[in-house]
Amino acid sequence: MSEGYNFAYLDEQTKRMIRRALLKAVAVPGHQIPFGAREMPLPYGWGTGGIQVTAAILGQSDTLKVIDQGADDTTNAVSIRRFFARTAGVATTTETARASVIQTRHRIPETTLRADQIIVYQVPQPEPLWRLEPSRAACRTMHALAEYGLMHVKLYEDIARYGQVAISYDYPVMVNDRHLMAPSPIPAFDNPKMDRMPALQLFGAGREKRIYAIPPYTSVRSLDFADHPFRPHRAPHACTLCGSRDSYLDEVLTDDRGGRIFVCSDTDYCATRQRKDAA
């Protein structure tokens, strides 16, 4: 473990401040709680919010998994996992089922999460209304009044123009039938996994200095209309490596003549399936 730094890098006062924000966030699902986010030794945009939340909840007996784009071996996931291995000395894993805390950027694992697990999302832009109203002060008032007409109009305009909603990731959700929330830039395919998830879901936005949460088993509804129900999409293929037809796929170009394969974005899910096939 790193000399000269507290367990999991942050000092205990800061962790306590973050935990207070987390408690508020859990008490009002989907509501953004401002918090005194600290500067971290990783740049803003690399997951400073998620790292602070993870640092605040991590205990010595935890097992941490970190993924980026669904994979444990992407450089940023490696870097963050190393950061906690170095500053907290906690056990790390790539197996979803073995992790007690999972920090993620842009995906929710394919394996269903359990009640004894916590998933921490890295959030670049916690305000779901920002593209429609850039003033965060104005957005705050709209949340207070549950005034979400602007977003419904945006969805309606998409349908009028394209015949369908043209948001494919960071697809807005209504949490506990009260707060409109940005699910972070996960593909809309992952949105249904958030609904009544047994695991606690925590969201940290470092640069924007906001924390929010979805308590276990809370209703999370992707915004839609009765005659245009929400539909998650994935590439209509099977994984080249494990054959899965249900998982979210990455498209990988294999040559410059249009050759491509599709493989699971969730590397642990894919590897587990390949091992089972081999056995």
Partner 1 sequence: MAYVAVKGGEKAIDAAHAWLAVERRGDPALPALDLAQIEAQLGRAVDRVMAEGALYDRRLAALAIRQAQGDLVEAAFLLRAFRTTLPRFLASLPLETSAMAIRRRVSAVFKDLPGGQMLGPTTDYTHRLLDFALADPAAALPPAPPEAVPDAARMPRVHDMLGQDGLIEGDGPPTGDEPADLTRQPVSFPASRDLRLQALARGDEGFLLAMGYSTQRGYGGTHPFAGEIRLGEVAVEIAPPELGFAIDIGEITVTECQMVNQFKGSKTVPAQFTRGYGLVFGHNERKAMAMALVDRALRAEELGEEVTAPAQNAEFVLYHCDNVEATGFVEHLKLPHYVDFQSELEAIRRLRATAAAASAEEVVA
In the complex, the residues that contact partner 1 under the rule CB under 8 A are 5, 9, 11, 34-41, 43-46, 48, 68-71, 73-79, 105-107, 124, 135-137, 162-164, 166, 168-170, 185-189, 207, 209-210, 233-235, 248-255, 261, 263, 265
Which residue lies nearer to partner 1 by CB, 54 or 218?
Answer: 54
**Which candidate in 30, 49, 50, 206 is catalytic?**
30
Which residue lies nearer to partner 1 by CB, 218 or 264?
Answer: 264
CB of 31 to partner 1, least distance (A): 15
Burial class of residue 247 in the structure, from the number of CB atoms within 10 Å of its CB (0-12 exposed, 13-18 middle, 19+ buried): buried
Q: Could you tell me if 162 and 231 are in contact, meaning their C-beta atoms sit under 8 angstroms apart?
A: no
Q: Respond yes or no: is residue 139 known to be catalytic.
A: no
CB of 43 to partner 1, least distance (A): 4
- Give the C-alpha separation, 103 to 47, whole Å: 9
Q: Could you tell me if 129 and 180 are in contact, meaning their C-beta atoms sit under 8 angstroms apart?
A: yes
**Which candidate in 36, 49, 239, 259 is catalytic?**
239
Q: Respond yes or no: is residue 30 known to be catalytic.
A: yes
CB of 99 to partner 1, least distance (A): 18
The amino acid present at 38, given as its one-letter code, is R
- Give the C-alpha separation, 137 to 184, whole Å: 20
CB of 167 to partner 1, least distance (A): 8
Q: How many CA atoms lie within 13 A of 146 on its CB side?
A: 7
Which residue lies nearer to partner 1 by CB, 105 or 193?
Answer: 105
Query: What count of residues does the chain have?
Result: 279
Nearest alpha-carbon partner for 123 in 193, 230, 213: 213
Known catalytic residues are: 30, 239, 242, 264, 270
